[in-house]
Amino acid sequence: MTTDDPSPIRILMANLSESLTRLVVEMVAQNLHMKIVGQVQGQLEVLIGAQIGVDMIILGAPKLKPAPGIVSHILNEYPNTKILVLSTSEDKGTGYWLGIHRCHIEYSTADSLRTGIQELSKMLPSM
């Protein structure tokens, strides 16, 4: 990348099923502006993983409403981190940032997931 290129979006994957993991890995492999920095399971590991300085956490959850409790903890500690919660039962997700903001996405392919991540990453200016 040149100095004019934006820094890649640093992604931490958390609690994702095998199929969602494959989808995220495929999507990142097709995009030079995204980079997976880790993969964790469990709430404590998510909080520890957030400390490494990520731009986005992609979190798997059985349902989207209510938001998993870990979302508020992460946004409390790391308000500039974006969180994309992907449903493990349907092709939908919800993005969160600054605690009170959210957007909904639908995904069925790596391309539609990439579009959702790119839109969510634009919601806040980079630090």
Residues 41-71: tens digit of each pLDDT: 988 999 888 888 899 999 999 998 998 989 9
**Two structure tokens written together for 32:** 């030079």
Report pLDDT for 2. Answer: 42
On average, the pLDDT of the chain sits at 85
Could you report how far apart the first and last alpha carbons of the chain are, in Å?
19
Rounded CA separation 87/58 (Å):
11
Domain spans in the chain, listed from the N-terminal domain onward: 9-61+77-121
Nearest to 81 by CA among 8, 28, 11, 1: 11
User: CATH homologous superfamily for 9-61+77-121?
Assistant: Anticodon-binding domain (3.40.50.800)
pTM for the complete prediction?
A: 0.79
CA-nearest of 55, 53, 91, 50 to 72 is: 50
